[in-house]
Structure formats: C-alpha cells, structure tokens
C-alpha cells in the first residue's frame, strides 16, 4: 500500500513557524521552547530553571515572572503539547475508511518525530513520570487512558462500518498501535543513523492493512 507524504516539502524546518504575537506571548513561547530543549538534553528531574532562562536569553528572575516554579513550567509545556496533539487529531479523518484511518495514524506518527528535540523531551518525560512521585505521573496516567479510549472508539467505528471484524480485540489492537509508535521513536532516538522510524512505522501500517480481517 502506498502512502502519501503528509508534507509536500521534504525539508523540515528546525523550529516550527509561529504567527505574529504580542511580545509577552512570544517570550512565553520562547521559554517553553527552551524548556523542551533542556528537558530533551537532561530530563525534567535534572533540568534547572537557570538553564532554561540562559538558553532563552533572559534572567532567572525574568523566567519566574512567567512561570513561578519548575512545576508550573512543566505544566505549561504539557498543556501546549496536548493542545497541539488535540488539534492534529481534529484535523484528521480517523472515522472514515480503513485507508483513511491508517493514513491518519501515519500522519500522527510523522508529527511525533517531526522535531527531534520535541520527540526526545516527551519520551524523557513519559519514562521519568513512571515514578509515582513525579509531578507529571497523574498527567501521563490520565493521558494513557484517554488516548487509548479514543483509539478504541475509532476502531469501533471501523467495526461498525464493516471495515474490520468484530472479533478483533480492539483494546489489544489500540495498545499494539501505541506500543509501535513509542517503541519506534525510542529506537530512532537511540540510533538515528541505524533506524528509519518512518520506514519502520510504514511497514507496520502495511502489515495492518494486509492482515486485519474484515467482517464476513
């Protein structure tokens, strides 16, 4: 099965383009960008407000004007990422045909690896937050149940449309899809010169298209 590239331009910019915004909002966004870079490098636990401020080109006092403490900064980073992910889901037609669903999965995965530092930062946070005393533990627990529930609902729509068999364990299939997304990212981040994450995920998508039974 052939998949069209979500972006016609093969050159991906290093930093996402943003609309013009008031100076205060632009500074806040720059601080969040800096926080992501620091978290990608050291993880949240080892990250310091001083390092974030230095990277953003302001004083620590200036950073504290926007984010009074490290947890507030983390919350803002997660809020922004969640808003971006929600917008991406809403743009996709995952409730259409099987082909549209799988193309949507590919687009979601593409965006998850579009920027290396963003991918690494959130993988770091995901792993670190396995500790129950981590400030993002509850956030990631809730996210797990939410996104798995949403994925299962998309799959139920395909069952209702007769695109896949009602005998399939949809909960297990949703877990498999997310396990592939996470696993492919980790392998790619570990050895980017050895692992082509997009090729790996494409191969998985192709197998799903060929092996998922339809309703007979």
Record the tokens describing residue 204, joined without a space.
Answer: 């998985």
Query: Up-side HSE of residue 68: CA atoms within 13 Å toward CB?
Result: 0
Pick the CATH number of 23-211 from 1.10.357.10, 3.40.50.970, 1.20.1250.20, 3.40.50.1980: 1.10.357.10
Residue 216 pLDDT > 70: no
Predicted confidence at residue 215, as pLDDT, reads 65
Q: pLDDT (tens digit, 9 = 90+) per residue, 29-87?
A: 999 999 999 999 999 999 999 999 999 999 999 999 999 999 999 999 999 999 998 88
| Structural contact between residues 103 and 162, judged by C-beta atoms closer than 8 angstroms | no
For residues 66 and 30, what is the distance between their CA atoms, to the nearest angstrom?
Answer: 11
* Confidence at residue 96, expressed as pLDDT on a 0 to 100 scale: 74
What's the predicted TM-score (pTM) here?
A: 0.83
Q: What is the pLDDT of residues 139-164, one digit of tens each?
A: 999 999 999 998 999 999 999 989 99
- Is 139 in contact with 122 (CB distance < 8 Å)? no
CA–CA dist 157, 50 (Å, integer): 48
Sorted by where each begins, the domain ranges of the chain are: 23-211
């Amino acid at each position: 099965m052939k998949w069209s590239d979500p972006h016609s331009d093969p050159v991906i910019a290093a930093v996402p383009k943003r609309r013009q915004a008031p100076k205060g909002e632009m500074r806040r966004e720059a601080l969040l960008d800096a926080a992501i870079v620091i978290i990608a490098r050291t993880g949240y636990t080892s990250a310091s407000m001083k390092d974030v401020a230095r990277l953003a080109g302001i004083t620590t006092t200036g950073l504290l004007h926007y984010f009074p403490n490290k947890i507030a900064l983390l919350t803002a980073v997660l809020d922004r990422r969640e808003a971006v992910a929600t917008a991406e889901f809403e743009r996709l037609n995952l409730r259409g045909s099987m082909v549209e669903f799988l193309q949507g999965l590919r687009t979601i995965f593409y965006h998850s690896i579009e920027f290396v530092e963003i991918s690494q930062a959130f993988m770091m946070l995901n792993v670190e937050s396995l500790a129950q005393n981590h400030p993002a533990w509850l956030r990631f627990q809730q996210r797990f149940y939410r996104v798995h529930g949403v994925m299962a609902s998309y799959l139920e729509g395909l069952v209702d449309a007769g695109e896949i068999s009602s005998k399939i364990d949809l909960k297990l299939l949703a877990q498999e899809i997310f396990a592939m997304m996470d696993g492919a990212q980790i392998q790619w981040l570990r050895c980017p010169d050895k692992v082509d994450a997009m090729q790996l995920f494409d191969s998985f998508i192709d197998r799903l298209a060929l092996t998922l039974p339809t309703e007979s």
